[in-house]
Amino acid sequence: MDLKVKKSQKPLQGAIRPESDKSISQRLILFSLLTEEECVFEKISSALDPRSALSAAACLGLEYRLENDTLFAKGPGIAGLKEPDRPIYCGNSGTLMRLLMGLLAPSRIFAVLYGDHSLNNRPMARIAEPLRDMGAVIHTRRGGLAPIAVVGGDLKGTDFTLPVASAQLKSAVILASLHSEGQSRVIEPIPSRDHTERILAHMGAEITRQGSEIIIEPGRKLSGIKMKVGGDFSSAAFFIGAGLLREGSEIILDDVNLNPTRTGLLKVLERMGASLVVDETEDVEPIGRIKVASENLCGTVVESVEVPLLIDEIPLLAVLAAAAEGTTTICGVSELKVKESDRLSGIAELVRLLGRECAIKGEGKNLTLEIYGRPGEFEGGTYDPKFDHRLAMAACVAGLNSPEGITVLNAECAEVSQPQFYSELKRLGAQIEE
């Protein structure tokens, strides 16, 4: 479906709870395979990626039932994993495919993983290589692409330094290390999301951090876990952006996951002059409330070390930067080229559609995005996000500042992470037309 979003007559007002965190939901589903005790997950995400994870886990022997938004799950343990009788479909989820590679590597089963067209063309060699160094047998399509065949077997511990900041790569190696022979160390030069370490440690895994090193002692029996899934910060970010962009708006976001390895955007927005009030409570994952009000923004510099902490929010940040006074420079953005789409090119196209200029400079790890912003309303037009949910939602938020409006093609792709995104925006007062 195509949707047109344009500047509404009135500011946005109201309170919402964002869609539950899909990254955490997927991890909880997969990790429940590794314990024979029951796990209970409240507020599990209903987005497409967690649904793909649930289907994949069921193929491997997970028994579960859903009662409203609470998932009751009981796994077979690593030794009891069921060998699937058909390839496992991972949908559009890189998290699912990459974590499954690590989870299955020390098992005693054979499995084939594949996804949709986009996922089958995303790089998997960087996951396969460190697992192979541990002794895993992993076959990929030419170029390190899916479909992927994993032949589970005995692994040895590893000392592995992440070549790039990647929570998915880190998680795959940690999962493989849980059932390897000997201690493993994962060195993380730049911090990335730590959901995997937090959750597995809560389940009984011996995972400790010493500076930039994560140390994994194998062989610990994992226990069941009961946990409430907070709202997805990446989802909340688009509502934060809506509140900042549409003058006069006031939005409250409840029950949001505030893990500091996910909320780098908040620090950047504060530097840009955003009006934000954050209250949090501590749990396995910190959860809290964010109050946001519209504000005049100014440009800033986002350093490479910050990018892993806000990688999914860069399309939204680019839209806000386009409305800010001055230049915003985002360093170290090469990973955007290998997301669900070439997200870097998609961002540049969107910024120019809004009537602002931008530039992509450098190469490799030094790739930099510069956005030359200015206050005032955006121009409009038609935007093709190429089925990338983050780009689609960023374009919709941008439309809130466009009297002409922005028509987003195939806008339903937002369901990958936020099934209720458009209905929630409408409830806040956004003008959205099919």
- Kindly list the catalytic residues: 312
CA angle, residues 16, 197, 56, in degrees to nearest 5: 70
- Residue carrying structure tokens 């038609």: 382
Q: Which two tokens stand for residue 222?
A: 């994992």
Say if CB 239 and CB 269 are below 8 A apart.
Answer: no
Specify the pairing of strand 275-281 against strand 287-293: antiparallel
Q: Which two tokens stand for residue 424?
A: 């929630």
Give the chain's count of helices (H) and strands (E): 12, 24
**C-alpha to C-alpha distance for 220 and 210, rounded to whole angstroms:** 20
**C-alpha to C-alpha distance for 186 and 171, rounded to whole angstroms:** 10
Q: Helix 195-202 and helix 22-31: axis angle, to 10°?
A: 40
For 242-283, give the DSSP string: HHHHSTT-EEEEEEEE--TTT-HHHHHHHHTT-EEEEEEE-S
In three-state secondary structure terms, 333 is: coil
Q: What is the largest CA-CA distance in the chain?
A: 63
**Is the bond leading into 147 cis (omega within 30 degrees of zero)?**
yes
Q: Helix 421-428 and helix 233-245: axis angle, to 10°?
A: 30
**C-alpha to C-alpha distance for 423 and 255, rounded to whole angstroms:** 19
